[in-house]
Amino acid sequence: MSARDTHCTAFGIHPVPANLSKREFERKCEALVESLLATPVAQRNFLKFDIIFQNEQLKEHITALEIPEPRPIVCLRVEYETEDSWAECHRDPDYMKALDAGKSWGFHDDACIFSAAKVSKGHPNAPRDSNVVVGIIKAPGHMSATEFQQRLEGLIDAVYGAKKPAIKWHLYVQNMNAEEHLQAAGYPPVSAGPSYFG
């Protein structure tokens, strides 16, 4: 089962700076997100805002697969009605003041912020309180974005489709829909090549 979501989604991938512990950075990110969500413009425009922290649950499995240990990050995911909703937030002085407060402690350093199209996969009745696994995968240079997405969806279906009917996947395909608004707000251009989240 696969369905495209009509809402807009944006991600912020924020690496933990070298001068802060992972926990300290997470606490600062939580406080920053609370101040963002307190602004009237965010309350009007955001449908959902998630802050995702890494844990050690999959460490043994990742090591067994010989996948390099992930760099410590905080991942933000926001859903909103339209691209105009996103743009309105980034034009609002109170919202931008709350966001800019993170510059002093490294929130913006090496951050990658972009919009993505969401494709939901898996069983519609999967439990809502289940664990969340996030994979960030860049399409190889020799493969088109369409071919890579098809192969990734095929892999997800083959590995999880029949064996784990209670699993639900959201595949996020990077797009450039918010790029103009992000650059107007002072963010660097998103690097070429889509990323995918599972």
Going from N- to C-terminal start, the domains of the chain cover: 2-197
Q: Going by DSSP bridges, is the β-strand pair 168-175/136-138 parallel, antiparallel, or unpaired? A: unpaired
Work out the angle at residue 180's Cα, subtended by the Cα atoms of residues 176 and 184, and round it to the nearest 5 degrees. Answer: 145
| E runs forming strands in the chain | 2-4, 8-15, 46-53, 73-80, 112-122, 136-138, 168-175, 195-197
Looking at domain 2-197, does it have CATH number 3.30.70.100? yes
Percentage of the chain surpassing pLDDT 70?
76
**N-to-C CA span, the chain:** 15
Is 70 exceeded by the pLDDT of residue 88? Answer: yes
Residue 98 has a pLDDT of: 95
Residue 97 identity: K
pTM above the 0.85 mark? no
3-class SS of residue 68: coil
Q: Which two structure tokens, joined as six digits, stand for 109? A: 């350093």
Q: What are phi and psi of 76, to 5 degrees?
A: -110, 135
Tell which wins on pLDDT, 112 or 178: 112
3-class SS of residue 159: helix
